[in-house]
Amino acid sequence: MNPSPHMSPDQFRAAAHQLIDWITDYWSRLDELPVLSRAKPGDLLAALPAAPPEQPEPFDALLADIDNLILPGLTNWQAPGFFAFFPANISPPAVLGELLSAGLGVNGMLWAASPAATEVEMRMLDWMAALLDLPAKFRWSGGNGNGGGCIQGTASESTLIAMLAARHRAVARGADPSELVAYTSTQAHSSVIKAAMIAGLARAPDDHSHLRLLDVDDTFALRPDLFSEAIEHDVAAGLTPFYICATVGTTSSTAIDPLVPIGELAHRHGAWLHVDAAHAGAACICPEHRGLLRGVESADSLCFNPHKWLLTSFDCDLFWTGDRAALTGALSITPEYLKNAASQAAASGGTLSPAVDFRDWQIPLGRRFRALKLWFVLRSYGAENLRAYIREHIRLATWLEEQLRADPRFELAAPRPLNLICFRIAPRAGESHSDADARSRELLNRLNSTGRVYLTHTVLPTSAGPRYTIRMCIGGTFTQERHVREAWTLIQQFA
C-alpha cells in the first residue's frame, strides 16, 4: 500500500494536465452539446453509489464519471446557444485564477491572515472603480478615507449587507429599530425581499409592513413620485425610511431606475441608497454606457457582478461603499482568537497604512482569494478587449431586436438598453392576450427542446395586465453572430 494517502507530486501534475485537457476539449465541444440538460429528476442520484468508497480510486475513474455521469446532467451555461437568465461568463484566465486560488489555499479573513489576498483585492476594486469611472468616495486610494470595496460572493449578499449597514447607521442616529422602512420597486431582484426576511424586517415574502414594493413606469423603472409619496406617508406615520434599493438593469427586463431623483430623496430623508447593477454594471466599462450610473455619487453603496458579463467565473460580486464605518459597525466583532497586531494598529489608527480586515465586510468569516481571477482577467484581456467584448454582444442584440421589430408576428415587450431582448408573440386580429401569451409559452418550449438554444421567460406588468415575456440575453463567452442568427431562424420557424 502507498505509504502516503496523498497524490504524489508527479501524480498530481499528470492528473492536472489531464483535467486541463478535459476542460479545453469540453470548451471546443460546447457547440455540439445540448444546451439544456435532458436529465430527469433522480437520474444522476440513482447512478451514484449510495456509500463512499473505502479504498482509493484512480483519477481515471473520476474522469470517466465526469463524461458518463456528470456531462448528461449539465445544462451547459457556457454553450454558445445559452441565452437564458443572465449569463455567468467564464474565461481561460478566470479559470486559471480560480485554480491558483485553490492551489494556494489561503484564507483572507484578516489582513494578517494573508496580506496579498486583501491588498490585491483592494487594488482590483480600485481598478474596476476606475473602469466604471466611479466617484472617488468609493475608492480606497484618493477617496475620503471612509470608502472602499471588496468582493462578495453574490449581489444578494451585497443587498443584505447594505441593508444591515443602513440599519446600523439609522439606529446610531437615534431611529427605533422597530420603525424602520425599506423601499424598492416591484421589479427589484427578489434578493431585496430575502434580505428583509433575513434582517427581520419581513416575516414572509408578502409581509410589506416594513418593506414597500412600489409600482414602476411603462419602461419598468421605479417612479420617484411614488417613492416620494410613500416616504412622506411613512414619515407622517412616525416611521423612519432607512434603505432604498435602486436597480440599474432589472433582472426581468434591464430597466434602469433613475438614480438622480431617487438619490435626492434618499439624501433628504437620510436613507441609505444601495444601487444594484448586478448585470448592467459590466457595460459601464464602456464610456457610452456610463450614463446608466448617472447619479451614483449620491449612493451609499453599489454592486455589480463580473461573474455575470465580465468573463470572471462565479463567484465574484464587487461591492463598494462610501460609508465603510457604517458597514463595519454593523458587521465587526472581534473574539480573542482573531486579535492580532496589524488589526489592533488599524483600529487605533496607529499605522502608516492601516490593515483592512475583510471579515468585517461580509457575513462569513473565511474568504477565498477571489481577487486573483479578476486580476488575471483584467491583465490578460486589457480594458480595450473587455469593452470590445461588451460592444459585440450589444451589437448582436441590436441586430436581433431589429429583426423582431420588422416581423409583425412579434412584439417587443420592453426597451432594450443593453444585451437583453424581451419579446412575445403579437396577438392576431381578434386574438386575446392570453391566447397570444400561450403561443409565446409554446414557442419557448419548442425552442428549448431543440437543444440548440436555451431562453427563459418572465412576466411583465402592462396596461393590459401581466404579460408573458420571452427573455433572450446575448452575453456568452463563446457566442458569435452565427449562433444569434441560428436562434433567430429557430424563433421564426416555431412562431
Ligand X SMILES: *Cc1c(COP(=O)(O)O)cnc(C)c1O
The footprint of ligand X (CB under 6 A) covers: 86, 154-156, 189, 191, 247, 249-251, 276, 278-279, 305, 317
**Residue 222, SS3 per DSSP:** strand
Taking the complex as a whole, the smallest distance from the CB of residue 250 to ligand X amounts, in Å, to: 6
Contact 315, 153 (CB under 8 A): yes
Nearest to 33 by CA among 1, 66, 80, 69: 80
Residues 6+ apart with CB under 8 A from 456: 84, 85, 444, 470, 471
By C-beta, is 227 or 410 nearer to ligand X?
A: 227
Q: State the Cα–Cα distance between residues 266 and 181, nearest whole angstrom.
A: 12
Taking the complex as a whole, the smallest distance from the CB of residue 249 to ligand X amounts, in Å, to: 6
Query: Nine-digit cell at 89?
Result: 461568463
Taking the complex as a whole, the smallest distance from the CB of residue 79 to ligand X amounts, in Å, to: 19
* Terminal Cα-to-Cα distance of the chain (whole angstroms): 64
By C-beta, is 278 or 378 nearer to ligand X?
A: 278
Question: Looking up cell 468585517, which residue turns up?
Answer: 360
Taking the complex as a whole, the smallest distance from the CB of residue 77 to ligand X amounts, in Å, to: 13
By C-beta, is 255 or 266 nearer to ligand X?
A: 255
Q: State the Cα–Cα distance between residues 356 and 80, nearest whole angstrom.
A: 40
How many Cβ atoms are within 10 Å of 115's Cβ, its own excluded?
A: 14
Nearest to 485 by CA among 470, 477, 474, 471: 474
By C-beta, is 276 or 411 nearer to ligand X?
A: 276
Contact 410, 404 (CB under 8 A): yes
Q: State the Cα–Cα distance between residues 259 and 103, nearest whole angstrom.
A: 42
Taking the complex as a whole, the smallest distance from the CB of residue 357 to ligand X amounts, in Å, to: 23
Residues 6+ apart with CB under 8 A from 348: none
Taking the complex as a whole, the smallest distance from the CB of residue 478 to ligand X amounts, in Å, to: 20
Question: Looking up cell 425610511, which residue turns up?
Answer: 241
By C-beta, is 124 or 436 nearer to ligand X?
A: 124
Taking the complex as a whole, the smallest distance from the CB of residue 112 to ligand X amounts, in Å, to: 29
By C-beta, is 154 or 419 nearer to ligand X?
A: 154
CA atoms within 13 A of residue 129's CA, in its CB half-sphere: 29
By C-beta, is 182 or 355 nearer to ligand X?
A: 182
Contact 181, 212 (CB under 8 A): yes
By C-beta, is 160 or 170 nearer to ligand X?
A: 160
Taking the complex as a whole, the smallest distance from the CB of residue 292 to ligand X amounts, in Å, to: 12
